[in-house]
């Protein structure tokens, strides 16, 4: 039996980012992960690459293909102005493991067969190529994505399923496309080496899907109806192909941590794949996790503050991306009465993605923030668009300066101690919040 301080379950981007962050804080960490059970490719935005860079995942970042054109057909309008970076997931996953090795983090290629947890720690029974192994951990990070056990306290969006098809063609020019359909939407990509992917996302609750054994043929028939497929692929696209079905329902865990455990990435919240920012969303919760865990382990008196910080930020991210998806679905106006579109263009709520700027509504509150790799409490500026508050603007503490403005002090006097570039940055931020002063 081996004893270790922190075990991270899952070797995806969230788990790897947390493990490397904890290792930098001096913790003994072990990652337990399996290789992905199916080949896949993902189209990601520049924002995802920026998130990988921020997390220090240099090998994973280098595994991304160069930007390729993406054609979009939505609401009957075609555009070819967008581009995305294609990630070959097997290569990306191998690069993540190389990032772990470079950081000096141990990796066990194994499956978690049993997990027993109590206030004293966690006992894991693992199954790998070398047989069975038992591990003890004082702290557990759950980062197994959508496959992680969620328990009963969770929020689910409209039930959604994605059918991923893969086949091989001759090498050629790469590219990707997305198109809306009466009952869902399809994303497709062709890599330069000839690997081809087509994924259709549908409503799982409508009962309109055919029997499982007929799905490959049904998907081939759907591809035959698509002009986008004809543009991107060859004749092989019209034949039944390898198929993998997976849930893509948006899920939010309503309890993301405890005194000796924490959820990150898709295990904490998994959103609609429409945005192409799934990896960015996973990294967003993972980047704050090392400081949260460090607080739980070294400042147990702040446990409530640390857990509230993590939960609130996970929930805010979930709501933001869910509303982004809602607004994009609402742009498709041809099939508003169809079950797929009716459910998703009105979920999760009717609240606007961005509230209008209103300087008069800005207020100062005490809230949890990250300071010196710990969760602490500080005064932040809260707005309708930033309900969790903003503490610093690139080193400028906002709350005391807002108080001075609200007391009637002119901007020039309030910001006189700042260099000119910082004054300009602060003035720009205030104007974005509706401030009309000089």
Q: And the tokens for 282?
A: 């996973």
In terms of DSSP bridges, do strands 41-44 and 154-156 run parallel, antiparallel, or are they unpaired?
unpaired
Report CA 241 to chain centroid distance, whole Å: 29
- What pLDDT is stored for residue 437 in this prediction? 82
Distance CA 137, CA 156 (A): 30
Topology of 160-247 in CATH?
A: Alpha-Beta Plaits (3.30.70)
pTM: 0.93
Q: What is the mean pLDDT of residues 292-297?
A: 98
Q: Where are the domains of the chain?
A: 2-68+81-155+249-330, 160-247, 359-432
- List pLDDT tens digits, range 53-75: 999 999 999 998 888 888 899 99
More confident residue, 337 or 36: 337
- What pLDDT is stored for residue 2 in this prediction? 59
Q: And the tokens for 51?
A: 């998130």
- What pLDDT is stored for residue 159 in this prediction? 94
Q: Can you tell me whether residue 113 is helix, strand or coil? A: strand
Report the run of H or E that residue 315 belongs to, with start and end.
Answer: helix 303-330
Q: And the tokens for 255?
A: 């309890």
Cα→Cα distances 138→104, 106, 132, 289, 358, Å: 20, 16, 20, 16, 46
Q: Please state which architecture CATH assigns to domain 2-68+81-155+249-330.
A: 3-Layer(bba) Sandwich (3.50)
Distance CA 107, CA 126 (A): 13
Q: Compute the residue count for the chain.
A: 438
Q: What is the mean pLDDT of residues 395-412?
A: 96
Contact assessment for residue 14 and residue 310, using Cβ atoms and an 8 Å cutoff? no
Instruction: Give yes or no for a cis peptide into 119 (omega within 30° of 0).
Output: no
- List pLDDT tens digits, range 225-255: 999 999 999 999 999 999 999 999 999 999 9
- List pLDDT tens digits, range 84-135: 888 899 999 999 999 999 999 999 999 999 999 999 999 999 998 888 999 9
**pLDDT of residue 438 exceeding 70:** no
């Amino acid at each position: 039996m081996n004893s270790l301080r922190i075990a991270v379950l899952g070797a995806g981007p969230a788990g790897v980012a947390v493990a490397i962050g904890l290792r930098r804080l001096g913790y003994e960490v072990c990652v337990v992960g399996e290789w992905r059970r199916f080949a896949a490719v993902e189209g990601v935005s520049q924002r995802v690459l920026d998130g990988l860079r921020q997390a220090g995942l240099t090998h994973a970042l280098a595994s991304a293909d160069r930007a390729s054109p993406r054609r979009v057909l939505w609401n009957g309008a075609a555009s070819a102005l967008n581009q995305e970076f294609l990630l070959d997931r097997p290569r990306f996953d191998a690069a993540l493991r190389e990032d772990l090795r470079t950081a000096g983090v141990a990796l066990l290629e194994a499956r978690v067969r049993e997990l027993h947890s109590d206030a004293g720690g966690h006992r894991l029974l693992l199954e790998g190529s070398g047989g069975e192994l038992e591990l003890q951990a004082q702290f557990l990070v759950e980062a197994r994505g959508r496959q992680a056990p969620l328990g009963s306290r969770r929020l689910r969006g409209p039930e959604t399923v994605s059918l991923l098809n893969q086949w091989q063609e001759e090498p050629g020019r790469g590219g990707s496309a997305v198109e809306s359909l009466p009952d869902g939407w399809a994303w497709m990509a062709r890599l330069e080496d000839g690997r081809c992917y087509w994924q259709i996302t549908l409503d799982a609750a409508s009962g309109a899907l055919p029997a499982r054994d007929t799905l490959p043929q049904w998907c081939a028939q759907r591809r035959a109806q698509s002009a986008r497929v004809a543009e991107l692929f060859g004749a092989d696209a019209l034949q039944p192909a390898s198929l993998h079905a997976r849930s893509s329902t948006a899920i939010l865990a309503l309890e993301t941590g405890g005194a000796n455990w924490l959820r990150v990435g898709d295990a904490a919240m998994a959103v609609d794949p429409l945005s192409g920012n799934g990896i960015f969303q996973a990294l967003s919760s993972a980047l704050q996790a090392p400081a949260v865990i460090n607080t739980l382990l070294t400042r147990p008196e702040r446990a409530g503050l640390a857990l509230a910080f993590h939960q609130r930020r996970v929930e805010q991210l979930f709501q933001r991306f869910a509303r982004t998806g809602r607004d994009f679905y609402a742009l498709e106006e041809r099939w508003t009465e169809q079950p797929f579109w009716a459910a998703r263009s009105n979920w999760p709520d009717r609240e606007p993605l961005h509230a209008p700027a209103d300087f008069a509504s800005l207020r100062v509150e005490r809230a949890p923030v990250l300071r010196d790799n710990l969760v602490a409490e500080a005064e932040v500026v809260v707005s309708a668009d930033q309900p969790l508050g903003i503490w610093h603007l690139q080193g400028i503490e906002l709350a005391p300066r807002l108080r001075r403005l609200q007391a009637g002090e002119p901007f020039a006097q309030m910001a006189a101690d700042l260099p000119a570039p910082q004054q300009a940055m602060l003035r720009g931020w205030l104007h974005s919040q509706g401030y009309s002063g000089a």
